[in-house]
Chain A
Amino acid sequence: MATAAATAELYLNGGSDRDGEVLERVQPAAAVAERQTTGASMMEQLVPEITTHALTYLDFPSLCRLSMTNSLMRRAANDDNAWKALYHKDFTLEQDNITPVNGWKAYYAATRAIMNVNAEFFNIIRERSLSAMGRLWLNADYVKCVHASGELFTSYNAVMESWQLAFNWDHGGGFQVRDVRARVLTEMAWVTMKTYVDMDNRLFNMSNIFEFHNGRWYMVHHHSSLLLIDGEPEQQIVQG
């Protein structure tokens, strides 16, 4: 009897029961006192491990909304580990050992921004909008584009002309972009991906590079491989 009670006490962290208070506050007393809350918020009663656990079930807009409710929620919802876990869940298991300079939430946000810009690049190709392509690229003399033909174009104007030509080719058929991986630094990001055409075994390996200027990302480099079939270059059928 005594053993059981003692063991239970051990497991209960020595917490004593108080009349009428079912949920003992697990927050440090000082932190609670400092805040003078009226009407205890339920979230504050959760121990950090549970909060972190519950947060893993939230998507990024829900986490952001939670952080907008109050300062305590913000601390919980901005938790670095929660955002790291979400990053690995939503983007890639790679980059496990990096330490983002501004924390994982900022890195998640930057990565999502890059993924959006990169997706926009492919939307522009689908819509063949030269004006949108013009807004996507940085207007600079060093930007470069290597098309699937193997040709290299340098400078903003030459790159835009190359896209005009590309949009005039009747490409037909859709394509699917898969295995998109982004690495984002403060003012530069690069993305690799596979673009499948028609059938599953025909694809281009592609790389895109972006630079951050005046509050937004601009494409500065696009490089496509030749068409690959089952991972091998196509035989002499590439359009020149």
Chain B
Amino acid sequence: MASSIENNNEKLTLKSSDGEEFLVEKHVALQSTLLQNMLDSDCSSADVIPLPKIDARTLALVLGYCKKHADASSSKQGELNSFDSEFLKDMDMGALFNLVLAANFMEIKGLLDIAAQKIADTIKDKPHQEVREIFHVENDYTPEEEAAVREENRWAFEGFP
């Protein structure tokens, strides 16, 4: 009902891909543009909103981020920044990727930005062999192709002659 949406204490139920349900306050859910659009388009909050691409572990992380940012939106930015960097600290690459996918899907720009930045920071300044391991990328180049690709990118790794 439209009238109940005005109620600040209103809660939504989100359901993860593995069937776990999360009760979320509306102002927390509004951090997600996806959920905001769904609420705007007349979905009653009594309904369970399925998120079939996001597992419970990832969804719990996402909602933790949303809660912090929703509650602190008017307070100090510095506190949020330190929360953000602490939030992703020590997170393994698999969890980080799940988080990026979830943030992208749920349209949570701030989370998408910090998670993408974290992935970028992880591979920055690492040799490509190590990047392969980090991303579990299988080398499918023939020796000839690999030599050609190396040549194509040689400019990036040398200074002025």
Interface readout for A40-68 with B: 1 if CB under 8 Å, 0 if not?
A: 11110111011001111111111111111
**B155 & A23 in contact (Cβ 8 Å cutoff):** no
Interface size on B, residues (CB 8 A): 60
Q: In whole angstroms, what is the CA distance A58 to B121 when docked?
A: 8
Which of A9-17, A88-96, A157-165, A205-213 touches B?
Answer: A9-17
CB distance from B33 to the nearest CB of A (A): 10
Is B149 at the interface (CB under 8 A from chain A)?
yes
- Please give me the residue from chain B that is nearest to A42 by CB atom: B97
Q: Tally A-B pairs: CB < 8 A.
A: 155
Which of B23-31, B49-57, B82-90 touches A?
Answer: B49-57
Interface size on A, residues (CB 8 A): 57
Is A84 at the interface (CB under 8 A from chain B)?
no
Is A1 at the interface (CB under 8 A from chain B)?
yes
Q: In whole angstroms, what is the CA distance A51 to B140 when docked?
A: 20
Is A109 at the interface (CB under 8 A from chain B)?
yes
Interface readout for B30-48 with A: 1 if CB under 8 Å, 0 if not?
A: 0000100110011110111
**A61 & B137 in contact (Cβ 8 Å cutoff):** no
Contact of B120 among A42, A45, A49, A54 (CB under 8 A): A54
**B43 & A22 in contact (Cβ 8 Å cutoff):** no
- Chain B contacts to A: CB under 8 angstroms: 17-18, 34, 37-38, 41-44, 46-55, 58, 93-94, 97-98, 100-101, 104, 112, 116-117, 119-121, 123-128, 131-132, 135-141, 145-146, 149-150, 152-153, 155-157, 159-161
